[in-house]
Amino acid sequence: MQSELLDRSYHFLNFLPTVADFLVQKHKESELKVDEKSLYNLVTEADLKAESMILDEIQKNYPADGILSEERGKIDGNSGYTWVVDPLDGTTNYTHGLPLYGVSVGVVETDTMTPLIGMVFFPELNTYYHAIKGQGAFREKTPIQVSKTASLKDSLFVTGFPYDRNLSLDTLMQYYKSILQKSRGIRRTGAATLDLCWLAEGKFEGYYELGLKPWDMAAAGLIVLEAKGKITSMDGNDFSILIPSLLATNGLVHDYLLAEFEGQINRVVY
């Protein structure tokens, strides 16, 4: 298995800069075609083209692997590996000309959906993060680890809001207010993969969000775990990319945040 993972990781760490370059060039165009999948949930021609580039590369080089992607859905395979792809995380940022967006590609074990490889490129931040299960996490070639901050008052957190946020806005604001009052602050980047990668290298102490999808968590979630972080659902259950709530921390403030969320998790926003 290890050699197969190394091969897939090496291949795509060399391929994904091509996708990143495409997104940067497309971002410079004055006329970007944008469609609404739902309220607040956008898709652009750049999303679709970037996804086609990635999926074509997977199917050409690893035809027996399965695929789960944001725009095209599920493609079955029989190798035991499934690629989980978000061609453009942070589409709203992208459509507004912000550089806070990424390309996320992960590989999971098909039967358990356990993340095995994670790669996230941030084209206009000129950096990328990657991990293979059991081998640590890296920003480019530099090993990274989560922060050592152990108190809420000294911690900086980050969050995001689900697309159907209007269904449970009061609950979301309750979480926000509760943590904001006890910490150094809360940020919102608009890209879950960026939140998780910045947590992995110690910029944030914790990240939480409801309404996530597998492609939001598969690659960047592994990067956090390999950076010695901790991940559960927001109600304390084991991490799974199939559970749409996520609490990721440096491990030292994890129980404090679980206590803040206890009894408040409102599954209507799932």
CATH value at residue 114: 3.30.540.10
Binding-site residues for Mg(2+): 70, 86, 88-89, 216
Contact 261, 172 (CB under 8 A): no
Using DSSP, state whether 194 is helix, strand or coil: helix
Predicted confidence band of residue 210 (pLDDT cuts 50, 70, 90): confident
45 is written with which tokens?
A: 């021609």
Report if residue 32 sits inside a domain: yes
In angstroms, rounded to a whole number, what is the distance separating the alpha carbons of residues 6 and 17?
18
Look at residue 235 and tell me whether its pLDDT is greater than 80. yes
Where a domain ends, among 126, 143, 160? 143
Look at residue 165 and tell me whether its pLDDT is greater than 60. no
Domain with 107, as residue range(s), is 1-143
Structure confidence by residue, pLDDT tens digits, 246-261 = 999 999 999 999 988 8
In angstroms, rounded to a whole number, what is the distance separating the alpha carbons of residues 139 and 253?
23
Residue predicted with more confidence, 170 or 87: 87
Predicted local distance difference test score (pLDDT) of residue 177: 84
Contact 210, 234 (CB under 8 A): yes
**CA nearest to 93, candidates 29, 44, 157:** 44
Binding-site residues: 70, 86, 88-89, 216
Predicted confidence band of residue 44 (pLDDT cuts 50, 70, 90): confident
Structure confidence by residue, pLDDT tens digits, 102-143 = 999 999 999 999 999 999 999 999 999 999 999 999 999 999
81-89 vs 66-69, strand pairing mode: parallel
86 is written with which tokens?
A: 């978000």
- Cβ within 8 Å of residue 223, ≥6 positions away: 118, 120, 129, 130, 131, 137, 196, 197, 200
Residue 88 and residue 121 share a domain: yes
Predicted local distance difference test score (pLDDT) of residue 262: 78
Residue 224 and residue 182 share a domain: yes
Average pLDDT over residues 197-204: 98
Place of tokens 């709530």: 245
Residue 119 and residue 83 share a domain: yes
User: Would the CA dihedral through 201, 203, 209, 212 be positive or negative?
Assistant: negative
pTM tops 0.85: yes
Look at residue 36 and tell me whether its pLDDT is greater than 60. no
Residue 125 and residue 209 share a domain: no
